[in-house]
Amino acid sequence: MLDIRQLREIPETVKTLLALRGPGLDELVDQVLAADSGRRANETRWQHLQAERKRLSKEIGARRAKKEDSSTLEDESKAMAVEMESLQAASGEAETRQRDLLLSIPNLPHDRIPPGADAAANPVLRTWGTPPTLENPQDHVALGTRLGLFDPERAAKLSGSGFICYTGPGARLERALLNFLLDLHTRDHGYTEMSPPYLVNRATMTGTGQLPKFEADLFGVSHGDLFLIPTAEVPVTNFHRDEILAADALPLRYVAYTPCFRREAGSTGRETRGLIRMHQFDKVELVKITTPENSAAELESLTSDAERVLQLLGLPYRVIELCGGDLGFSACRTYDIEVWAPGHGGWLEVSSCSSFGDYQARRMALRYKGADGKNHLCHTLNGSGTALARLYVALLENGQQPDSSVHLPEVLQPYFGAARLTPA
């Protein structure tokens, strides 16, 4: 959520920055400002009336104590209540409207965001590793089927399309990856491990920005007003919602494994083949809560923590920065890490590392007490560290041998218990 004061004071600057995301957002700004000024006028009037009423009530109490007549004052007070009620109704309506509008305005991009309308304009910042030379690379579906790692048909029987069931060594490889990632980030990178709920309420989903705008992307459950998390970012960032943290406790660095649940309505085809885009997938997520001064540096280190995963696994990757038109709703700056997938014949996004500035913190009233003794909004960041399914795809496709077996990176071997996957 943006700061309403910022909108009041520098509306043109806000509109200019929002225009970097695309057209049409300046109307929302004007609507918020209209609701805001109407609300404030009503509230001011109401507060004056309320102050007068409180004065009257005290006077009534004093007169009654002295057994004097107070009926005139009581009538006066009752009469005021009529106007106050309509004022309150109007300002309540304006406040709801203002908040709804404000919640539907995306974050301001940071000041040096690359220009561009879509992913084609995202600049590549750096590339690491060398793609393997392969004669006729197979894709992960062919490899996985041959190796008996997963079973899409039976998974569809259980749950429908867009679900996978890992089997035997495939399930073991998933678990090996997950343990490797959690150990790396906790032991080497200093993150605190969390294991949060997978079902969260509406307030939590609103805190990180999924609601109210993106309810259609989420799975809900039929009992209670709960949603399946689309990423561990949601429960972990909201862990400190409505709190005032001590400055010396920052930065907080959390890592969490959770499954992620997404509707992904309407997406099918080459870009979603096999494990690439599913309704349920596993992910290890990194979350940071920091001060505004440190958030830029924390984004760089967060990204490098995620890159380290690919370096240790020996997987070629590149890092791109998202341009204004491709930036996610709540983010002000994002680096995507894309791994090379030779069977797929392209780059796959395995991590998205974002800074949210104070946008999420304002939504969830997440603050810290500064050296000045005052409360300030924190900055929040998160990034995948990394998505498991696409990492899995990259491991199979980059590690494949001419005989269809797959060589596993050395760091993974202790976790998996073998150096290669071979056909049964």
Partner RNA sequence: GGUGAGGUGGCUGAGUGGUCGAAAGCAGAGCUUUGCUAAAGCUCCGUAGGCCUUAAAACCUACCGAGGGUUCGAAUCCCUCCCUCACCGCCA
Q: Catalogue the active-site residues.
A: 262, 277, 349, 352, 390
Task: Give the nearer residue to RNA in terms of CB position, either 98 or 354.
Answer: 98
* Choices 50-58, 273-281, 313-321, 382-390 (CB under 7 A): range interacting with RNA: 50-58
Rounded Cα distance, 44 and 1, in Å: 24
| Out of 15, 40, 175, 308, the residue judged to bind RNA by CB under 7 A | 40
98, two tokens: 């203002």
Shortest distance in whole angstroms from residue 18 CB to RNA:
21
CA distance 288 to 414: 29
- H or E element in which residue 231 lies: none
Q: How far is the CB of 221 from RNA (least distance, A)?
A: 14
Count of positions on this chain that bind RNA (CB under 7 A) = 24
DSSP calls for 369-395: E-TTS-EEE-EEEEEEEEEHHHHHHHH
Among residues 13, 27, 78, 118, which is the contact residue for RNA, using CB under 7 A? 78
CB of 376 to RNA, least distance (A): 9
- Cβ(318)–Cβ(347) below 8 Å: yes
Q: What tokens were used for 343?
A: 């069977």
Of 44-52, 143-151, 164-172, 263-271, the segment contacting RNA by CB under 7 A is 44-52
Candidates 6, 13, 44, 161: give the one binding RNA (CB under 7 A): 44
Give yes or no for a contact between 314 and 129, defined as CB atoms under 8 angstroms apart: yes
Contact between 413 and RNA by CB under 7 A: the answer reads: no
Residues 353-372 that bind RNA (CB under 7 A): 367
The secondary element (H helix, E strand) that includes residue 413 is helix 413-416
Contact 185, 385 (CB under 8 A): yes
According to DSSP, residue 107 is labeled P
When binding is defined by CB under 7 A, the residue of 14, 21, 35, 43 that contacts RNA is: 43
Which segment (73-81, 296-304, 353-361, 401-409) binds RNA by CB under 7 A?
A: 73-81
Among residues 10, 13, 27, 58, the one that binds RNA under rule CB under 7 A: 58
**Number of CB atoms found within 10 A of residue 385's CB:** 31
Question: Distance (Å, rounded) from C-alpha 113 to C-alpha 120?
Answer: 15
Residue number with CB closer to RNA (40 or 407): 40
Which position among 54, 126, 157, 420 is part of the footprint of RNA (CB under 7 A)? 54
The reply to whether 258 sits near RNA by the rule CB under 7 A is no
Binding status of residue 6 toward RNA by CB under 7 A: no
Rounded CA-CA distance 286/303 in Å is 10
Report CA Rg, the chain.
27
Site string for RNA, 101-140 (x = CB under 7 A): ----------------------------------------
- Distance between CA 424 and CA 417 in Å, rounded? 16
**Which of 32, 35, 77, 233 lies at the binding interface for RNA (CB under 7 A)?**
77
From edge to edge, which strands make up the β-sheet containing 317-321? Answer: 124-128, 317-321, 333-341, 346-355, 379-387, 280-290, 252-261, 192-194
SS3 state of residue 308: helix
Nearer to RNA, 135 or 248 (CB): 248
Among 62, 119, 125, 249, binds RNA (CB under 7 A): 62
From residue 14, alpha-carbon distances to 88, 95, 322 in Å are 30, 21, 20
The residue type of 220 is: G
Among the listed residues 48, 126, 270, 420, the single contact to RNA using CB under 7 A: 48
Q: Least distance (Å) from RNA to the CB of residue 101? A: 15
249 binding RNA? (CB under 7 A): no
Return the DSSP state at 184: I
Candidates 22-30, 75-83, 111-119, 307-315: pick the segment binding RNA (CB under 7 A).
75-83
Q: Are strands 346-355 and 379-387 parallel, antiparallel or unpaired?
A: antiparallel
* Amino acid making up residue 99: R
> By C-beta, is 75 or 188 nearer to RNA?
75
The pattern of x and - marking residues 147 through 186 that bind RNA according to CB under 7 A reads: ----------------------------------------
What is the pairing mode between strands 192-194 and 252-261?
parallel
Instruction: Return the number of the residue (81 or 297) whose C-beta is nearest RNA.
Output: 81
Q: Which residues bind RNA (CB under 7 A)?
A: 4, 40, 43-44, 47-48, 50-51, 53-54, 56-58, 60-62, 64, 74, 77-78, 81, 244, 367, 375
